[in-house]
């Protein structure tokens, strides 16, 4: 059951990154791709009905983590307390910037909240990437399974790392470019005219940065986390996950050339899923590696009781079926290009 729950949480996190990733990407590009107030309203309208719903997957993944792997939840949420608070405030700022933007008319009001929306989206992408980098690199767990990390120390990987070091920053920048590319493709799907063309051009440029960082981060990760090499050596079938990522990366380039935005966006989804599942496969059975490998948390020593996991699985299936049905309805209802109404005062 612990392996099943490990996979389920990985699926939920992948769903969050794919769905909330494009509206984070839209926020990252907000000030670059949109040149007028009307275009910025179009960017916001392209994510308006779905951005808050997409965050349900993050909340659900956190709740499921608490239920299935309580030791991991206790350790990571205490050790990563500072970055979690930063992420929480960035999520709040991003939400209120969307909601407050249209409340007052003035020369400074909307531009201020546009800048907050863009800045919060950029920092969220970097911190989410850095968080992934910390999990891959490992943390200094003590004999009780707890740890503390400063925001940074000497920016080196070692026995006393910080949340930010050269590796986690590298992963954070890779996440920033990946989500920006994902958002550009979403905007190309949902908009028309100059805004669509601008999003398409930005996405095509971002692709080169994502491709370069994919190679660099992959090569460095093999050196930083030996478990990845071990798993791929012992279970060669796991190469299917990086192949999915490579297929998605190549597909985006092909569909950019054909100006097929919808298929390009689906290729971006495949790339993100392939990269995340590659990480999950590479770490298993570790759920939180330690700098001292003997203290690492695994699916076996961090799990809840077997009976609770079995009963919880039944309720998880019911809950996720309802959640999935809601998202299918929402995205089908929201299909097509977005437009601004002449009498609409908000986004």
Is 276 among the domain residues?
yes
Tell me: the pLDDT tens digits for 270-280?
999 999 999 99
Is 339 among the domain residues?
no
Is 343 among the domain residues?
no
What is the chain's mean pLDDT, rounded?
A: 91
Is 338 among the domain residues?
no
- Number of structural domains, the chain? 1
Where residue 67 sits, what CATH number does that domain have? 1.20.1630.10
Is 44 among the domain residues?
yes
Is 342 among the domain residues?
no
For residue 83, what pLDDT is reported? Answer: 87
Task: Say if residue 285 is preceded by a cis peptide, omega within 30 of 0.
Answer: yes
For residue 310, what pLDDT is reported? Answer: 92
Is 84 among the domain residues?
yes
Do residues 101 and 110 touch, judged by C-beta distance below 8 A? Answer: yes
For residue 347, what pLDDT is reported? Answer: 62
Tell me: the pLDDT tens digits for 195-212?
999 999 999 999 999 999
Q: What is the DSSP string of 255-320?
A: HHHHT-HHHHHHHHHHHHHHHHHHHHHHHTTEEE-BSSGGG-EETTTS---HHHHHHHHHHHHHHH
Tell me: the pLDDT tens digits for 104-149?
887 889 999 999 999 999 999 999 999 999 999 989 888 888 888 8
Is 313 among the domain residues?
yes
Residues 6+ apart with CB under 8 A from 21: 178, 179, 182, 183, 272
Is residue 59 over pLDDT 60? yes
Tell me: the pLDDT tens digits for 25-53?
999 999 999 999 999 999 999 998 888 88
Is residue 342 over pLDDT 70? no
Residues of the domain holding 8: 2-333
Q: What is the pTM of this model?
A: 0.93
Q: How confident is the model at residue 78 (pLDDT cuts 50, 70, 90)?
A: confident
For residue 338, what pLDDT is reported? Answer: 87
């Amino acid at each position: 059951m612990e392996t099943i729950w490990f996979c389920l949480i990985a699926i939920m996190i992948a769903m969050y990154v794919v769905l909330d990733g494009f509206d984070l990407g839209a926020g990252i590009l907000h000030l670059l791709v949109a040149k007028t107030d009307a275009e910025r309203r179009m960017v916001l309208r392209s994510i308006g009905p779905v951005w808050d719903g997409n965050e349900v997957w993050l909340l659900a993944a956190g709740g499921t983590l608490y239920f299935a792997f309580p030791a991991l939840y206790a350790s990571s949420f205490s050790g990563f307390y500072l970055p979690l608070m930063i992420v929480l405030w960035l999520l709040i700022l991003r939400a209120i910037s969307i909601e407050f933007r249209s409340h007052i008319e003035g020369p400074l009001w909307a531009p201020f909240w546009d800048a907050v929306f863009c800045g919060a989206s950029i920092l969220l992408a970097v911190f989410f990437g850095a968080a992934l980098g910390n999990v891959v690199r490992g943390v200094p767990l003590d004999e009780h399974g707890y740890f503390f990390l400063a925001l940074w120390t000497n920016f080196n990987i070692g026995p006393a790392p910080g949340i930010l070091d050269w590796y986690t920053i590298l992963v954070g920048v890779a996440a920033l470019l990946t989500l920006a590319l994902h958002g550009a493709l979403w905007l190309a799907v949902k908009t028309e005219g100059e805004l669509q063309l601008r999003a398409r051009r930005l996405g095509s440029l971002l692709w080169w940065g994502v491709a370069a960082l994919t190679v660099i981060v992959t090569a460095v990760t093999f050196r930083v986390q030996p478990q990845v090499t071990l798993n791929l050596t012992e279970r060669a079938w796991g190469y299917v996950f990086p192949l999915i990522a490579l297929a998605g990366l190549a597909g985006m380039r092909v569909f950019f050339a054909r100006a097929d935005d919808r298929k390009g966006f689906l290729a971006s989804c495949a790339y993100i899923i392939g990269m995340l599942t590659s990480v999950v496969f590479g770490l298993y059975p570790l759920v939180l590696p330690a700098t001292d490998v003997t203290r690492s948390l695994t699916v076996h020593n961090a799990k809840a009781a077997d009976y609770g996991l079995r009963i919880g699985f039944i309720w998880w299936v019911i809950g996720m079926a309802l959640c999935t049905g809601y998202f299918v309805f929402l995205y089908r209802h929201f299909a097509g290009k977005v437009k601004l109404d002449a009498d609409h005062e908000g986004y």
